[in-house]
Amino acid sequence: MNVLNLSAECYPVAKAGGLGDVVGALPKYLKGLGVNAMVVMPYYERKFVSENKFKSVYKGSSKLGYRTFDFNILKETNNVLGFELYLVKIPDLLDRPDIYSYPDESEQFIAFQLAVLEWVVATNKPVDVFHCHDHHTGLVPFLIKYSAKFNSLANKVSVFTIHNAQYQGWLGWEKLYYLPEIDGAKGGMLEWGDCINPLASAIKCCWAYTTVSPSYLEELKHHSNRLEFLFELEQQKGIGILNGIDIEVWDPSKDPMLSFNYSKTTIKANKQKNKIELCEKFGLNPEKPLITFIGRLVAEKGADKLMELIREISLRNLDEFCFLILGSGEKEIENDLKELQTYLKNYNCYIGYDEELSHKIYASADFILMPSRVEPCGLNQLYALRYGTIPIVRSTGGLKDSVIDFENQGGYGIRFDNLELMEMVLALQRAIKLYQDQKKIDQLHKLMMGLDFSWNKSANEYHQLYKRLIKIS
């Protein structure tokens, strides 16, 4: 079975968040199940690309409206990832350092999708399933179904995974001419809300769509940035599969980014050693419980509530904890969090993206806070569990599916329901109190580190889905 994953991100080549983690891990686990899972992504000027060997496997050209562009498909040749990786290089379009946020982003991703399909058709590349991830690759199910140019692919299975439905890749109709000729009557399959909506189009045209947790599948019918009715309409095609984690990359006993590795039996001493080192660097007291937040500083993650919360908990429980934030995002939130540094001594933040620091924090912190408004799956809580860090989460999406409150049978985390200041203060106070009971903490460490959130189970669910769809194709 040949599955071609199309994605804007793939760890360790280029990652901005959970999408990169998933696309860098799932194919590896599918390989273990006998599936030839491959990844094709845009070419970025990144360290991984300059440090590894690639060879050109196809050169072609395509059209973005009146503009002809050349592209080059590069294959990674050392097989360092455990699956085939292809990069699409397009001069002056896909050969830049950043993944997102260029003004011509829609041109970049449309050209990427067209180049991939041109390559597959021209080389007759065996592909049984096109597995597209998020809106950047959302036009593929439409293009293979309805454009004459790619009609040799018309019966191919397409699966679309929604990592985040907030962002939909909206395009004005003036960009329709970027796409190859289609039967006019089919234009409606691109549309949602008076514009071309690649995420909505993918949901309409794919054979099946998946969400990265079962709860998120349900929630999308009620809150999905104006796609609620569509999710209601297409619900028979939807399936929720909880993300897993790559337990080779995220392994506290071997993680090369940690100063002190540890397992279930050595966590007590070595987590503290990592914490002392980290606290020294950030001017925090390692004797206090360390609470962290790692992630995008956006409202979706509840990051706009952090300042108020930290201020409030400082007033009430001054000297009982320390707080460290790693993240970047909206400038206003970044500035607020930086400002807090000037008057709180038990608090620090690092504004930016730093993979290594994130590993060190997972290994050092006692608690990780995730006050998300929306959380399709959330990987932070899964990494935290593996590193013996207790998650404090709002009960939503994947957080609901993966964290059980420690006061319930078999539980190990702290949950709260609403993004209300007092509910969050209470959750943090429960954490501070829990920290004082070191016997309970030791028990929870062992329980959390023994949980299996690896991809083994979820990769199998994707495999079953592919098999089912190929059978009816």
- The contact set with ligand ADP (CB under 6 A) reads 17-19, 21, 164, 294-296, 326-328, 353-355, 358, 377-380
Q: Which is nearer to ligand ADP, 131 or 156 (CB)?
A: 131
Using CA atoms of 157, 240, 300, 229 in order, give the dihedral in degrees to the nearest 10. Answer: 70
CB of 170 to ligand ADP, least distance (A): 19
CB of 14 to ligand ADP, least distance (A): 12
CB of 295 to ligand ADP, least distance (A): 5
Q: Which is nearer to ligand ADP, 234 or 354 (CB)?
A: 354
CB of 71 to ligand ADP, least distance (A): 28
Residue nearest to ligand ADP (CB): 18
Q: Which is nearer to ligand ADP, 419 or 421 (CB)?
A: 419
Q: Which is nearer to ligand ADP, 156 or 163 (CB)?
A: 163
CB of 453 to ligand ADP, least distance (A): 13
Q: Which is nearer to ligand ADP, 18 or 169 (CB)?
A: 18
CB of 319 to ligand ADP, least distance (A): 28
Q: Which residues are annotated as a binding site?
A: 15
Q: Which is nearer to ligand ADP, 358 or 396 (CB)?
A: 358
The secondary structure of the chain, three-state, reads CEEEEECCCECCCECCCHHHHHHHHHHHHHHCCCCEEEEEEECECCHHHHHCCEEEEEEEEEEECCEEEEEEEEEECCCCCCCCEEEEEECCCECECCCCCCCCHHHHHHHHHHHHHHHHHHHCCCCCEEEEECHHHCCHHHHHHHEHHHHHHCCCEEEEEECCCCCCCCECHHHHHHCCCECHHHHHHHECCCCECHHHHHHHHCCEEEECCHHHHHHCCCCCCCCHHHHHHCHHHEEECCCCECCCCCCCCCCCCCCCCCCCCCHHHHHHHHHHHHHHHHCCCCCCCEEEEEEEECHHHCHHHHHHHHHHHHHHHCCCCEEEEEEEECHHHHHHHHHHCCCCCCEEEEECCCHHHHHHHHHHCCEEEECCCCCCCCCHHHHHHHCCCEEEEECCHHHHHHCCECCCCCCCEEEECCCCHHHHHHHHHHHHHHHHCHHHHHHHHHHHHCCCCEHHHHHHHHHHHHHHHHHHC
Q: Which residues are annotated as a binding site for ADP-alpha-D-glucose?
A: 15
CB of 190 to ligand ADP, least distance (A): 26
Q: Which is nearer to ligand ADP, 204 or 301 (CB)?
A: 301
Q: Which is nearer to ligand ADP, 64 or 325 (CB)?
A: 325
CB of 9 to ligand ADP, least distance (A): 9
